[in-house]
A and B are shown apart, each in its own frame.
Chain A
Amino acid sequence: MLIDATILFQIAGIGIITALIHTVLKQVGKEDIAQFVSLVGFIIVLVIVIHHLSDLFQQIKSVFLLQGL
């Protein structure tokens, strides 16, 4: 089974870049903004993941005929 791997790379990339921005801001001494950026990155990734998880649950529902799909 071949699944689309783009999503994995996208999430990994967002993680790496958020970490880099965090490091840069921390070096300059803006700890509060650095924390905020990390939080925002986390929330973005969370939204993407939840979006796909809801897809998964829909699939499961339709497999077990809980919904008239």
Chain B
Amino acid sequence: MWKKYYFEYGEKTMKWIGAILLVSTTSWIGFDMSKKLTERPKQIRLLIQSLQMLETEMGYSQLTLQQTFQNISKKVPYPLDQFYERLAHKLSGIVIDFLTIWDEELSKFVQTSALKQTEHEVMKQFGRNLGQHTFLQQQKYIKLTIHHLQRELDDAMEERRKYEKMMKSLGVLIGLLIVLLLF
């Protein structure tokens, strides 16, 4: 008698635990997506700031690229400082081709950040021109890259305003729907 009761009780509890797990998972996915949307404009802004730093460092202190990257890495916050730090570290060894190092580190950085393919492409283009020209031309390229990133920033802000809340509520709601279907 009590064994049957025990089984029924256990089954019900498992059902509820499963439901809670499902809802919390989908909610978490939703929150994660909305967090990515929030992070993207912030990180693009940081990227722009770091490029401006690069410009001033190039203009006034005339250090090598490696030292410049080292300096910048100390001034910017988390995901970006790793990028510049690794670049500086790699440039301190024997450098065969700067472009491959740049591309490699850039794709590593984009993977860990909330940035999208368009920003990746813009920064890749920027790497093609880094250290190839006189200061004045270099300055122009930095300005151009900042301009491109600015446009991406507007885009990201718009996207964030539109979809941030939607992702959160959709995550919870879809979890509830699945639970109801399986119940």
Q: From residue 130 to 183 of chain B, which have CB atoms closer than 8 A to chain A? A: 162-163, 166, 169-170, 173-174, 176-177, 180-181, 183
**A14–B180 CB distance below 8 A:** yes
> Which residues of chain B are within 8 angstroms of A18 by Cβ–Cβ distance?
177
Contact flag A14-B177 (CB < 8 Å), given A28-B162, A28-B163, A29-B162: yes
Count chain B residues whose beta carbon lies closer than 8 angstroms to a beta carbon of A: 12
Query: Is the CB of A17 closer than 8 A to any CB of chain B?
Result: yes
Q: Interface majority SS on A: helix, strand, loop or mixed? A: helix
> Which residues of chain A are within 8 angstroms of B166 by Cβ–Cβ distance?
24-25, 27-28
> Which residues of chain B are within 8 angstroms of A20 by Cβ–Cβ distance?
169, 173
> Which residues of chain B are within 8 angstroms of A21 by Cβ–Cβ distance?
170, 173-174, 177
Q: How far is the CB of B180 from chain A (nearest CB, A)?
A: 5
Residues 20-38 of A, flagged 1 when their CB comes within 8 A of B and 0 if not, give: 1100110111000000000
Q: Interface of B with A (CB < 8 Å)?
A: 162-163, 166, 169-170, 173-174, 176-177, 180-181, 183
Considering the complex of A and B, which 6 residue pairs feature the smallest CB-CB distances, nearest first? A13-B180, A28-B166, A17-B177, A21-B173, A24-B169, A17-B176
